[in-house]
Chains A and B, each alone.
Chain A
Amino acid sequence: MEIYLPIAEQSMNVFVLLGLGAAAGLLAGMFGVGGGFLATPLLIFVGIPPTVAVASQANQVIANSISSLQVQWRRGNVDLRMGLILLLGGMLGSTAGVSLFTYLKRIGQIDFVIAVLYVLMLSTIGLLMLFESLRTYLRRRRNPEGPRGKLHTHYLVHRLPLKLRFYKSKLYISALLPLGIGFGIGVLSAILGVGGGFVLVPAMIYILGMPTSVVIGTSNFQILFVAANVTFLQAATNGTVDVVLALLLILGGVVGAPVGSRLAARLSGVVLRGLMALLILAVATELLTDLLRTPGSLYSLAPRDMAP
């Protein structure tokens, strides 16, 4: 069954879009990521113009986040204070990011920036997570009763001023840290059209040292607002949000998200992190191959609205 997407200006199979949405929703529920980092490249692959894919995906992330957040909130897995500070940084970051996106689009280098940023971020994060989870997993198998070590290690970043207590996360750290992380993720989120969860989740685990149980809910809380901000700014400045496309992705995601939450509850933290690492690496490899392989066609057209 085909449906015409009014902003993407082409017709597309409804079930392909529902399936894509379901996959993104599953990831949102399972790992606390928006799922955009997987769905955006896939949307581009099936022929949606990259600018529309990025903006409409941000719209879907809103729905995925609120859907997962319903569950997480009830379980008390949201650190509101941490979430609000991350959010403040995220708002500033995504506003800066949309201006950057508009600028890059004008000079025609948006494809390059998107591709290179994706590959760099995904491969770095994927590798780090994979090694960490493998090491933890092996250590636990060898020595299941052994010392767990400190709850989290102390780095230079912990000497920053403006220290605050985060009770749910059991942390006493500088507010500047989550603020900065939030800002970086906001910029990414605007340019890549992803909620930024795949960077935020590892950052919360490894940099902030938050307990894994609180991470998914808090990440979803922050992503919800950042994605809403990106959707608004993309619609207002670039006019690239396709609500028909977004609605189909959302309907798929609504089915996927709770399934993911349930799966996540059954798996241990370390297995969950390992799986996420593998997934991130697979996407990075695919994107890198794309950049390295001799393209079928050397030519492409810039989006029409770029031309004055």
Chain B
Amino acid sequence: MAYDSIANASIPTAANAKDFAKKKRANRSAKLKQCKLDARREQWLSQVKNKRSKEEMNGGGGMHVPRNERERSMENLEINPQREDNDGSVNHYSDSDSPTNSPTSHSSSVLGSNASGTNFTGSSSSRSSSSSSSSSVGCYSGTMSENDEEGDDGCLDDWEAVADALAATDDKQEQHNPLSELSPEREHVTQLDSHQESTNISKPNPICVGTAVHRAPVSGRAWRPDDAFRPQSLPNLLKQHSFPMNSDRHYGLGGTAWACKHAVSAPTACPICCEDLDFTDSSFLPCSCGFRLCLFCHKRILEEDGRCPGCRKQYDFDDAVEREATLDGGCLTVRLARSCSMITRS
């Protein structure tokens, strides 16, 4: 099936590419299988570094043939310009730092898409092998050759690219269809083996790679409190947290059963003016008795006798505002508050 898809996708290139790919695969598949069975980046890196020389040899050999292939594919396939763009985007992940690699990576990726068919039939045994097939051969050869220059980043970015492509398979399939050259068989292949196709298809489609990069982090994570894009409809965690702290503090001082009862069922309207309490008012607890009222009525009461409507005690020492001020300012504000209270009382 994979053969068919590739035959449809790029028939003329396949002839050359298959031969080369088979040789290439013979060289690499054994090594790559060992590498990918581990599926760990550290081991990747170590093995990549060990094989640098060989891979460079292979990459150098691959440079010539794929260029031919590329030229032919340019003639026959409409996809090719997109693939060239692709290579740009692929290079964005792994190859961008090496100017000499842009032709090689290009060719290798095209070759990889060809070789995917060949490899797919041969090495469908395990997941790693399937992902290692074709495109992975191509792209890994590219990345390995680039690893000579970049070290870790090549492999890391490639893994991320695979993950992003996996996350955005749906988008790929949607954008996949407009590319008329891609056959339905190939779409079957995408459904059969999403790992491989994610790598394969993400490379022909520059858009896919881009969307995958942008969408994967957004969809996968929860909103952080300090996230700029966090919806404002979500509750404010900080304020919610501060409210029970306040109530605990007040109830601890003078809490009564009455206060606790009112804490459980906090009034929605000010009992004095019957206006609805907004968030500031409902978190406003001016007296230790637990009697709640809106800020306007509180201010009005302070202008007159300054006694809590619930318990008829003076507001002064239990005033939440002054208490917060004492927390900030220390002893000086305590004295100020007391002196003010003396004035209001006398």
Chain A bound to chain B: no
Binding site for B on A (CB under 8 A): none
